[in-house]
Amino acid sequence: MIETKDQRLIKVLAVTAINTHLMSYAEEREVLEGYESFLKTLDKPIQIMRVAEPIDLKDYIFQLRKRYREEQNPYKRNMLKSYIEYAKQLQENREMIRRNRYVIIDEKFTSLADKEKAIERLRMRANDLKLGIEEMLYQHKLEAYELSNHELKRLLHMMLDYENAQIYEIEDAKHYPYQIGPRNLIEAAEQLKKKEEYSF
């Protein structure tokens, strides 16, 4: 969770999405009615946030490289090599994004003694909210999970410094050689590419 200077504790839940564009009128109406019913069950305000984030294919590329090294068939190796190149091109294209959805809740506290109670209240609210989201729709299953501290840091990093968050991991943020702006963003990305190993 996040503790703010104005004595609030904050938790963030990531929520999956469903595509209503391909639904019939009746299905879409059912989804909207389920959402309305969910909102009516809330006894405290929540914040809903939708964030555009570049697609991260690093883990996928890592798995492809591992399979490439283990594969003996030369034809399959060639196919895997082309998949790796294609995935790298997608990763480098920062225009490819996905929209992630978050629900934010908070609890105020007045003193150190009250802080422990606020932590417990917030934990219970997060669990109730998660259940409410997952049970909101009958036919379509939504999933919700609480962000870890590391995921919260990454989200804050992206919200406060979007350009650098796309290039540097949060652990590397303190090693910025300089502030990156629109003019030198491409130059910094090229320097990072040189450092990264692309060998098969």
Residue 86 has pLDDT above 70, yes or no: yes
Query: Checking phi first, is residue 126 left (phi over 0); if not, alpha (psi -120 to 50) or beta?
Result: alpha
| Helices assigned H by DSSP within the chain | 25-41, 58-70, 74-92, 112-134, 149-160, 162-167, 185-195
pLDDT attached to residue 39:
92
Neighbours of 69 (CB within 10 A): 10
User: What is d(CA 191, CA 30) in angstroms, rounded to the nearest whole number?
Assistant: 51
Q: What is the pLDDT of residues 23-74, one digit of tens each?
A: 899 989 998 999 999 999 999 999 999 987 777 777 888 888 999 999 999 9
The letter for the amino acid at 30 is E
The predicted pLDDT at position 175 comes to 47
The answer on pLDDT for 173 being more than 50 is no
Contact 92, 185 (CB under 8 A): no
Q: Would you say 114 and 23 are in contact if contact means Cβ atoms under 8 Å apart?
A: no
What letter represents residue 36's amino acid? E
